[in-house]
Structure 1
Amino acid sequence: MNGKHLVKLGLEKKAIALAQTAAAAREKAGLERDEILSELRAVQANPDAYLAGGVYAELAAELAAQQAKRDAQKGAELRPAPLPYPVWGEDLIEAGARTQMDVAMRLPVSRAGALMPDAHVGYGLPIGGVLATENAVIPYGVGVDIGCSMMLSVLPLPPQGLHAEDGKALLLKHTRFGAGVAFDKRERADHEVLHEDTWREQALLRHLYDKAATQIGTSGSGNHFVEFGTFSLPQPDLGLEAGEYLAVLSHSGSRGFGAQVAGHFTALAERLHPGLAPEAKKLAWLPLDQEEGQAYWQAMNLAGRYALANHDLIHARLARALNVQPLAQVRNSHNLAWKQMVGEQELIVHRKGATPAEAGQLGLIPGSMADPGYVVRGRGNAQALGSASHGAGRVLGRKAAERTLVKKDVQAYLHERGVTLLGGGIDEAPQAYKRIEEVIGRQRDLVDVLGTFQPRIVRMDTGSEDV
């Protein structure tokens, strides 16, 4: 039987190959072409009846999977109005972020959501958006920098125990920033995440392994940073006495590896939902009961572990250089999706620029290159899906900051607060961000503040115009 007969049945490429294999077996069994075509039509009409076994089982499985995809596409119509969702710090949030969240809450897979006080416009889901979906994961609901995260190490040294020049030298020697950067081969560190079997379980992950191994222990551009500063703890907590300590705070993600995972699966999700409304295109989702969704879930979680490994190595290098062991460490991811019970149902909770804040959960909410960051403990607010802000949030986009901010004003702001800056573009200036004190003030029912971190020596990537 030739392929023309199978094309006339309306079979797609992969199904045609499986049908030809099955047809050849039936021809050997003595069936005529018309009899085989009749059987193939029956498999098309009801593939589930042939899944248990037999010559048509593989073809039936492929046809069933294709039908599931078509069903998902049919269900891609947006709700006429968004589901209701709570907003924290509404007076601090631009209209564009609200519009994006409204679109997200119109998705047929959406079940609940919340908007944090640092929210601003992003791609797909707004930064500061929290979205719970049923049996679906949205790559742009997680973000391009999968697993972007924070880490704090409290050191057994007084804040004044590190001079600015020594701190600068340590950051220059032991950190790397920017797109494509890496440590020299002789300096490159190893980490257990690179030895996971997961890397071998997808062709995409195998392809990206060398990039990940090369860039491990480094930081990207934009708002990523490593800082020495003063950690103030007013009451005993974290296994520490109250007081002031020298600390290291870092913000980093999954580097080029995570970005390519995000790009690959976003394109795949968009192809699965070609009829999705234009305003929701970047919110295309992958069903978790299908191969594509499972592949993204595996890659996303690997990128999350890889991002945390970058922090591990950054902090280990600096502690080793200072010949100390951290007294306490806190870390959290804020660009990830989690399986979480919402009411009595397990949903997929996306936090794109939002900190997990379940009851008792520790987290970090940074300010800017010159403003304080906060160590917090979650209060488990169910309406917020156990979430809080991930930072101050932008009030000026990068281009707007470059157009409107003046370098001498930014430098004066840093000088007033005693901050030494290495790198850092004017697009990351403190004036480009909301006031972190106001953002924290709008979410007192989401987190309790345990302590504050005041930056002193900050390293970032060089911007288009350095401060």
Structure 2
Amino acid sequence: MGKQKLTIQDLAVIDFPTDVTRSLALNIMNRHFKHTPNDEKLTIINDVLQNPGNYTGHSTLSILALKLVAKAPPLQTFDTYTLADEPAHFDLFGSKHIELGAVQQMALAMRLPIAVKGALMPDAHAGYGLPIGGVLATRQAVIPYGVGMDIGCRMALSVLDVPGSYIDRHVYELKKALGAETHFGNDGSLDTPQDHAVLDHPDFQRTPLLRKLHGKAVRQLSSSGSGNHFVEFGTITVEAGNRLQLPAGTYGALLSHSGSRSLGANIAQEYTAIAMDRCRLPREAKSLAWLDLDSEAGQEYWLSMNLAGAYAQACHDRIHANLCRALGLSVLHTVENHHNFAWQETLHDGETYIVHRKGATPAAYGDMGIIPGSMTTPGYIVSGKGNEASLNSAAHGAGRQLSRQRAKNSITMSSLRKTLAREKVTLLGGSAEEAPEAYKDIGLVMSSQTTLVNVEGIFHPRVVRMARD
């Protein structure tokens, strides 16, 4: 008989005393009962829950049984919530560039009983749960899909100790290094084992899920995902008096965009399912289910989210270090920021909130960040102005104007190659789904947020690597 894998959704029919025991049961079944039919797995779990004393000496089920014997709280109760009739106020920036679907999604989020403040960035478009480009402040609650599937998706820029002309003179060497030192796609890893202090982080041992995911995190370190993730060389131009504290001029630069890989995706899936199970909302809002940060599950998610963010940063650290080592380059300055994350922040009213930024760049006063365009259009290095209405936030990129499917159906690889040739950009991998025409005009996006950020430098891509279609 083939392998049958239980999912967190399959366990919804069973009442677990805690979220930890649910995770333990799922992990044990999928690791040690791979060839047992799922209905039998559910029967076994139920029997352990009802009679834990019978299993305390079992070779594989004892860990769950002992957890139940040691701590047997009352069965989990569920809370059902209604939405406000009208959404709380939220500000839009660049409203003429934002599709109606994203505005409607944000309005729905602002009807949640935990929603306090909100904003929509000029690159916003519809997503799942909170719209991409949505910023939402809540009190003592975190929405897994307010952070998103790719927890800690982020930007990282290294300004290199070479003039901008170096990039155009060494295209062959840059292509070779990108081919050897980066890996893209939903699976696989680099040929050379990678190491980083984050792999020894004690939080990997704090929950069964994180222990289970550690091995794959080791393998995927220094790799990038698919879609719009990229690693690219280009030039950055800065004017005198910039916050990068660099002399005015044009420098070679390395820019990367990716997140926490399978680690973040699995955390998002696990705790979204738990949130939906515990926080019952009307059908249209169910993906906005939240976890109270005072709950065990909320604390587990918060810990896991922060670990995924640290892991995403580590991936960028290794990508930049590997490429600079291979090319013999040194770094003058770095800028980096998350744009899929939740932070505990004190805002202008003096109150502390959980601020979700799903596809939005932190832009408190003086915060440095990166807002990319597309594979052929400029990206912007910015400093935040600390705008109260935006909840100290800005756009995270140009934002899609065509869905991936629409782009695939309407843009040919032939036309993409012509665009690349015209703009003198070399592309490794990539697809029509990520063509510049699929994105909004980054210039219009930037002109819609002059009250949110100052421009400190402009990046122009020259040699770009992305995942293939």
For the aligned pair, the TM-score class normalised by the smaller chain equals: 0.7 to 0.9
- Secondary structure of residue in 2 paired with 1:129: strand
1:205, distance to aligned residue in structure 2 (A): 0.2
* 1:334-349 map, 5 Å: 334-342=339-347, 343-349=349-355
Structure 2 CA distance for partners of 1:287 and 1:159, relative to 1, 3 Å: same
Contact 1:18 1:58 in 2 (8 A): no
Equivalent residue number for residue 5 of structure 1: none
Aligned equivalent of 2:330, options 325, 328, 334:
325
Aligned equivalent of 1:92, options 81, 94, 97:
97
Aligned equivalents of 2:317 and 2:103: distance in 1? 36
Aligned equivalents of 1:149 and 1:313: distance in 2? 14
* Structure 1: gaps (5+ residues): 1-11, 22-56
Aligned equivalents of 2:71 and 2:171: distance in 1? 66
* 1:417-428 map, 5 Å: 417-428=423-434
Equivalent residue number for residue 456 of structure 2: 450
Aligned equivalents of 2:164 and 2:422: distance in 1? 18
Equivalent residue number for residue 257 of structure 2: 251
Contact 1:145 1:335 in 2 (8 A): yes
Aligned equivalent of 2:157, options 141, 152, 158:
152
Aligned equivalents of 2:116 and 2:221: distance in 1? 36
1:406, distance to aligned residue in structure 2 (A): 2.7
* Structure exhibiting the larger radius of gyration computed from Cα positions: 1
Amino acid at match of 1:400: R
* Structure 2: gaps (5+ residues): 1-14, 19-45, 53-69
Amino acid at match of 1:440: M
Equivalent residue number for residue 378 of structure 2: 372
- Report which stretch shifted further, 301-310 or 341-350: 341-350
Equivalent residue number for residue 46 of structure 1: none
Amino acid at match of 1:193: V
Aligned equivalents of 2:71 and 2:306: distance in 1? 30
Aligned equivalents of 2:241 and 2:328: distance in 1? 25
Amino acid at match of 1:128: G
Aligned equivalents of 1:58 and 1:169: distance in 2? 56
Equivalent residue number for residue 312 of structure 1: 317
Aligned equivalent of 1:232, options 215, 234, 237:
237
Contact 2:382 2:456 in 1 (8 A): yes
Q: CA RMSD in A?
A: 1.9
- 2:111 equivalent to 1:109: no
Give the TM-score taking structure 1 as reference length.
0.84
Contact 2:194 2:218 in 1 (8 A): no
Equivalent residue number for residue 200 of structure 2: 195
Aligned equivalent of 1:289, options 294, 300, 304:
294
Aligned equivalents of 2:430 and 2:299: distance in 1? 38
Structure 2 CA distance for partners of 1:233 and 1:278, relative to 1, 3 Å: same
- Secondary structure of residue in 1 paired with 2:226: coil
User: Paired residues, what number?
Assistant: 406
* 1:249-288 map, 5 Å: 249-274=255-280, 276-288=281-293
- Secondary structure of residue in 1 paired with 2:161: coil
Aligned equivalents of 1:98 and 1:79: distance in 2? 17
Aligned equivalents of 1:349 and 1:18: distance in 2? 37
Equivalent residue number for residue 119 of structure 1: 124
Aligned equivalents of 2:16 and 2:173: distance in 1? 63
Equivalent residue number for residue 175 of structure 2: 168
Q: Cα deviation per residue 1:346-391 (whole Å; 9 max; x = unaligned)?
A: 1100000000000000000000011000000000001111000000
1:189, distance to aligned residue in structure 2 (A): 1.6
Equivalent residue number for residue 24 of structure 1: none
Equivalent residue number for residue 223 of structure 1: 228
Equivalent residue number for residue 205 of structure 1: 210
Amino acid at match of 1:113: G
Equivalent residue number for residue 140 of structure 1: 145
Identity of aligned residues (%): 50
Aligned equivalents of 2:412 and 2:186: distance in 1? 26
Contact 1:393 1:434 in 2 (8 A): yes
Aligned equivalent of 2:368, options 341, 362, 372:
362
1:166, distance to aligned residue in structure 2 (A): 1.3
Q: Cα deviation per residue 1:130-154 (whole Å; 9 max; x = unaligned)?
A: 0001111000000000000000000
Equivalent residue number for residue 133 of structure 2: 128
1:344, distance to aligned residue in structure 2 (A): 2.4
- Secondary structure of residue in 2 paired with 1:315: helix
1:20, distance to aligned residue in structure 2 (A): 10
Aligned equivalents of 2:49 and 2:325: distance in 1? 58
- Report which stretch shifted further, 374-383 or 406-415: 406-415
* 1:8-87 map, 5 Å: 14=17, 62-63=73-74, 66=76, 69-70=77-78, 73-74=79-80, 76-87=81-92
Q: Cα deviation per residue 1:168-216 (whole Å; 9 max; x = unaligned)?
A: 11100111100112012xx122101111110001000000000101000
Aligned equivalents of 1:14 and 1:282: distance in 2? 23
Give the TM-score taking structure 2 as reference length.
0.84
Equivalent residue number for residue 58 of structure 2: none
* 1:407-418 map, 5 Å: 407-418=413-424
Aligned equivalent of 1:439, options 440, 445, 464:
445
1:409, distance to aligned residue in structure 2 (A): 2.3
